[in-house]
Structure 1
């Protein structure tokens, strides 16, 4: 069935239609949440909060065909909020450990063993979000700009900067 029709039915309160919508995006939502928090339980919590928020606010969705972008936007904001809350729990010891990990004398050891998902953790949340939306969800610059409430030019510059930051980290393992 067509997503627009399912959204229309879900707006009318049909639970089965909402379940079908969610099942079509379930894995991508979970993987995106996991990419942010790198913890199965936290990713599941973010995923569940996203589903709940989408369920209670689906009637506010204006364009039925943009359901995937809309729910992805909810998930991204939930994940960023979670990260912000968790970052307040870092102690000074955690900061020292993090600083040691990214110190120049340790670069070769860490960077050679790092994969793409770990490399994303070195990006700021905005850059990480743009990279995930662009390359994981295959969204256009225009769609990303809509999700992030930013001009397209800003999204392009963040994307460009993020790719430049990732190149030395990933070296020849991946090409962006």
Structure 2
């Protein structure tokens, strides 16, 4: 079934199934980085989920999502060039969930953060350490590498894998 023919509002799962490959290709064409493109896909659909009520014309879902994806990819690339390293977490200083002023958005952000923190224990031990230091202590990759006697590249890899696994766990919990 085509999402454009479905009755309002569009189901997020259908939207993801229909467009995630397109969003990935847009991100990859801009970044030429597999992992960064996967992060951009996740961030794009998170933004879309949070702002689905702003979509005025359902026939323009594809254009709407591709616009979000391009802007998100450009944001990632700008942040990457500022740091002069591969970007793992988008919008660390100004995450869209933290910028919301409404009570409902605040509650959703707190629920998401709580869900992530409660599921960190389900990760492999090596990933738990990195995730806790990154999320709860807000340490940089270099600081974590020094603390755990690891290379910054290893920290980035573990964080990326942990984040990807947590996304799957939280998504499964929300779908259940």
Report the TM range for the smaller structure's normalisation. Answer: 0.3 to 0.5
Structure possessing the higher radius of gyration over alpha carbons: 1
TM-score (norm 1): 0.44
- The higher-RCO structure (CA 8 Å, 6+ apart) is 1
TM-score (norm 2): 0.44
